[in-house]
Structure 1
C-alpha cells in the first residue's frame, strides 16, 4: 500500500492540507534513485579529450637598434621596469639585453644616507608611502630599514606603537 493512501482526501481524490500542496514533490524515492543513477553513469563514463598541441612560446627578438636604445636609456637612468613597459616586453627581457651588453644592474638597495634621511622625514611626521615615493623605494622597504635602526613606527592612525 502506498504511503499516501492513508492521507485525508477530498471527494475528488485530491489530498487535503500540506500533503496536497507537496504532492509529487514529497515522493523523494523516485527522484533520489534517478539522481543516483545519473551520478553512477557520470562516474562510469570517462571523457577522453584529444591533447591539443600548443606551440612553444618564442621569446621576442629585439633588433640591434632597439637593444642599443635599451642600453642607452638604462645608462641614462631609466629603470628596467620602466623600459619593459615602454618596449612592451617583460622585465627579464630587458635584463637579458643588458647582460648581453655587459652592463651590470644598478644597485637598488637603500643606502645608509637614504635610511638616515628617511628616519628624519619619518620623525618629522611624513608617512612611509610619502617617504618611499620621495626616495624611490617601496614603503615596506622603508619600514623594514627604519625598524632595523630602531625607529619606533606609528600605526596607520599616527599613534606610536
Structure 2
C-alpha cells in the first residue's frame, strides 16, 4: 500500500488496524521510513543539539521550536535535560 498523504495517515493513526489492516507499530515504522513525523515523538539527538546551538545563539524557545517543528515548551524541556542554563523572558541569564 502506498501512503501518499502522510498527514492524512497520521490523522487516522489511532484507527490504523481498521483502516490500513496493519498494526500500529508496523504503520509507524512505515511512516517514519517515508519521513513522516509521528505525533508525540520526541526530538532526535541531532535535533536537541540543534536546539542547543540555536538557543545559545540567542533565538527564543518559541523560534527554535517553530524552526524545528516542536513547541517552545518541548524545546525548554529538552534544553533543561541537556543542562542548558535558560535565560529569563528578557534574554538575561538567570
TM-score after normalising by structure 1: 0.43
Partner of 2:49: 116
Cα distance in 1, alignment partners of residues 93 and 17 from structure 2: 45
Note the 1:80-95 alignment, pairs <5 A: 80=10, 91=11, 94-95=12-13
Cα distance in 1, alignment partners of residues 17 and 52 from structure 2: 35
Cα distance in 1, alignment partners of residues 17 and 59 from structure 2: 38
Partner of 1:72: 4
Question: Which runs of 5 or more structure 2 residues have no equivalent in the other structure?
Answer: 32-37
- Rg: which structure is higher? 1
RMSD: 2.4
Question: Which runs of 5 or more structure 1 residues have no equivalent in the other structure?
Answer: 1-67, 81-90
Cα distance in 1, alignment partners of residues 15 and 65 from structure 2: 29
SS state at 1:72 partner: coil
Partner of 2:66: 133
Deviations 1:102-159 (A, max 9, x none): 2226372101110001100000000010110110011101100000111000111111
Partner of 1:152: 85
Aligned residues: 78
Residues 96 and 145 (structure 1 numbering): CA distance in 2 closer, same or farther, change over 3 Å?
closer
Partner of 2:17: 99
**Per-residue deviation at 1:72?**
2.5
Cα distance in 2, alignment partners of residues 99 and 126 from structure 1: 41
Q: Runs (4+) of structure 1 moved beyond 6 Å?
A: none
